[in-house]
Amino acid sequence: MRPVACGTTGSGDLQPDPVESTMSLLDRVQRRAEETGQPTTGPAAPVADPPARSEPGQPGQTPAPAGWQVHHAPPAHAAPAVESTPGGASPGAIPAGPDHDGSREPARTPPGGPHPAPPASPPGSQPAATEGRQTSLLNRTGLARTGLGKGVGHGTYAALRAKVHQRLIEELAGSPDSSPPDVVRQRIAELVNDIVVEQAVTMSRQDRQRVIEIVINDVLGLGPLEELLANPEVTEIMINGHQQIYTEQHGKITLSSVTFETSEQLAQVIDRIVSSIGRRVDESSPMVDARLKDGSRVNVIIPPLALRGPTVTIRKFAKDALQVEDLVHNESITDDMVTFLRACVRARLNVVVSGGTGSGKTTTLNILSSFIPADERIITIEDAAELQLRQDHVVTLETRPSNVEGRGRVTIRDLVINALRMRPDRIVVGEVRGGEALDMLQAMNTGHDGSLTTLHANNPRDCVSRLETMVLMAGAELPSRAIREQIGSAVQVVVHQSRLRDGTRKIVSITEVMGADEDGVHMQELFAFKQKGVDEDGHVIGAYAPSGVLPTFLEHLTTSGEGVPESIFEPAGEPESQLEPVE
Flag whether pLDDT at 250 surpasses 90: no
Q: How far apart are the first and last CA of the chain?
A: 95
When mean pLDDT is compared across 148-162, 232-246, 497-511, the lowest value belongs to 148-162
Mean pLDDT across 132-151: 35
Q: Which residue would you say has higher pLDDT here, 49 or 379?
A: 379
Flag whether pLDDT at 39 surpasses 50: no
How many degrees, rounded to 5, is the angle at CA 327 between CA 324 and CA 331? Answer: 145
Model confidence pLDDT, tens digit, residues 78-116: 444 444 444 444 444 444 444 444 444 444 444 445 545
Q: Which residue would you say has higher pLDDT here, 286 or 140?
A: 286
Q: 532: burial class by Cβ within 10 Å (0-12, 13-18, 19+)?
A: exposed
Flag whether pLDDT at 74 surpasses 50: no
C-alpha distance from residue 358 to each of 457, 497, 504 (Å)? 12, 10, 11
Model confidence pLDDT, tens digit, residues 336-394: 999 999 999 999 999 999 999 888 898 899 999 999 999 999 999 988 788 888 899 99
What type of residue is 528? Answer: A
Domain boundaries, the chain: 1-150, 154-220, 226-315, 324-578
CATH topology agreement for domains 226-315 and 324-578: no
Cα within 13 Å of Cα(571), Cβ side: 20
pLDDT, the chain, mean:
75
Q: How many helices (H) and strands (E) does the chain have?
A: 16, 19
| Domain 226-315 listed as CATH 3.40.50.300 | no
What pLDDT, on the 0 to 100 scale, is given for residue 121? 44
Q: Which residue would you say has higher pLDDT here, 107 or 419?
A: 419
Q: Which residue would you say has higher pLDDT here, 408 or 32?
A: 408
What pLDDT, on the 0 to 100 scale, is given for residue 70? 44
Dist CA 492 CA 329 (whole Å) = 27
Mean pLDDT across 493-517: 92
In the chain, the largest separation of any two C-alpha atoms, in whole Å, equals: 108
Nearest residue to 174 via CA among 218, 219, 213? 219
Flag whether pLDDT at 248 surpasses 60: yes
Sorting pLDDT into bands at 50, 70 and 90, what band is 294?
confident
When mean pLDDT is compared across 97-106, 245-254, 308-317, 351-360, the lowest value belongs to 97-106
What pLDDT, on the 0 to 100 scale, is given for residue 264? 86
Flag whether pLDDT at 10 surpasses 80: no
DSSP 35-56: HHT--SSSS-PPPPPPPPEEST
What pLDDT, on the 0 to 100 scale, is given for residue 28? 57
What pLDDT, on the 0 to 100 scale, is given for residue 48? 44
What pLDDT, on the 0 to 100 scale, is given for residue 525? 95
- DSSP class of residue 126 equals P
Flag whether pLDDT at 518 surpasses 90: no
Nearest residue to 493 via CA among 355, 392, 352? 352
Flag whether pLDDT at 41 surpasses 60: no
C-alpha distance from residue 151 to each of 155, 201, 232 (Å)? 12, 11, 29
Mean pLDDT across 155-181: 64
What pLDDT, on the 0 to 100 scale, is given for residue 295? 80
Model confidence pLDDT, tens digit, residues 441-469: 988 988 889 999 999 999 999 999 999 99
Flag whether pLDDT at 3 surpasses 60: no
What pLDDT, on the 0 to 100 scale, is given for residue 485? 92
Dist CA 245 CA 285 (whole Å) = 23
Mean pLDDT across 492-501: 93
- List alpha helices for 410-565, DSSP H: 412-419, 436-445, 460-472, 480-490, 554-559
Flag whether pLDDT at 56 surpasses 60: no
Flag whether pLDDT at 562 surpasses 60: yes
Q: Are 442 and 451 in contact (CB under 8 A)?
A: no
Flag whether pLDDT at 577 surpasses 50: no
Q: Which residues are paired to 39 by β-bridges?
A: none
Could you say which of 3.40.710.10, 3.40.50.880, 3.40.50.300, 3.90.1150.10 is the CATH number of the domain covering 324-578? 3.40.50.300
What pLDDT, on the 0 to 100 scale, is given for residue 8? 44
Mean pLDDT across 178-193: 76
What pLDDT, on the 0 to 100 scale, is given for residue 465? 93
Model confidence pLDDT, tens digit, residues 423-434: 999 999 988 988
Q: Which residues are paired to 520 by β-bridges?
A: 517
What pLDDT, on the 0 to 100 scale, is given for residue 154? 54
Dist CA 429 CA 181 (whole Å) = 36
Sorting pLDDT into bands at 50, 70 and 90, what band is 34?
low
